[in-house]
Amino acid sequence: MKIRQISVFIENKVGRIKEITDILGENKVNIRALSLADTSDFGILRMIVDDIEKAVKILKDNGFIVKVSEVVAVEVPDKPGGLAKVLDLLVSNGMNVEYMYAFFEKPEDSALLLFRFERPDEAIELLTKNGINVAGEDKLGVH
């Protein structure tokens, strides 16, 4: 199960993130998770939102460059070494993690992390085959 993620390319200047959150809020789009990566000139704001199509349209209509990609939501045991165990499985099977970030809510006894993989379908198969739960968009409140 893959999760659709929005990436917004923004100039690294005061107020740009606020502008995006204002636009989404005014249009009743809820941000479920986010990550920001930046350089001196630009940033990439990655978000999981509750209404992907609506968010893409309103952001594009407001002049933002938006890309939709897929990530994988993985339930990781919420205990010391939980993430390391999942990463050990991935590394030992040659799965590269391009980046990852956490989801704001957490299920019982697990942390929910969002992973971007080079080969997401293979990663999902490997994880589920090894008893690691991969969550769908419904678990994150996405429609």
CA dihedral 122, 126, 131, 137 (to 10 degrees): -20
Q: What is the pLDDT of residue 46?
A: 95
The fold for domain 3-69 equals VC0802-like (3.30.2130)
Question: What are the residues facing 112 on neighbouring strands?
Answer: 75
Q: What is the pLDDT of residue 72?
A: 94
- Which tokens go with 120? 């997401």
Q: What is the pLDDT of residue 48?
A: 93
pTM: 0.84
**Pairing verdict, β 3-11 and 134-135:** unpaired
Number of helical (H) and strand (E) elements in the chain, helices listed first: 4, 7
Mean pLDDT in order along the chain per 10 residues (143 residues):
93 89 96 86 91 97 96 88 93 93 68 88 94 83 73
Give the integer Cα–Cα distance in Å for 124 and 133: 9
Give the integer Cα–Cα distance in Å for 104 and 109: 14
34 close to 48: Cβ distance less than 8 angstroms: yes
Domain boundaries, the chain: 3-69, 71-140
Q: Quick check: do 3-69 and 71-140 share a fold? A: yes
Domain 71-140 CATH assignment equals 3.30.2130.10: yes
Give the integer Cα–Cα distance in Å for 21 and 90: 34
Q: Which of 62, 2, 1 is nearest to 29 (CA)?
A: 62
Question: What are the residues facing 13 on neighbouring strands?
Answer: none
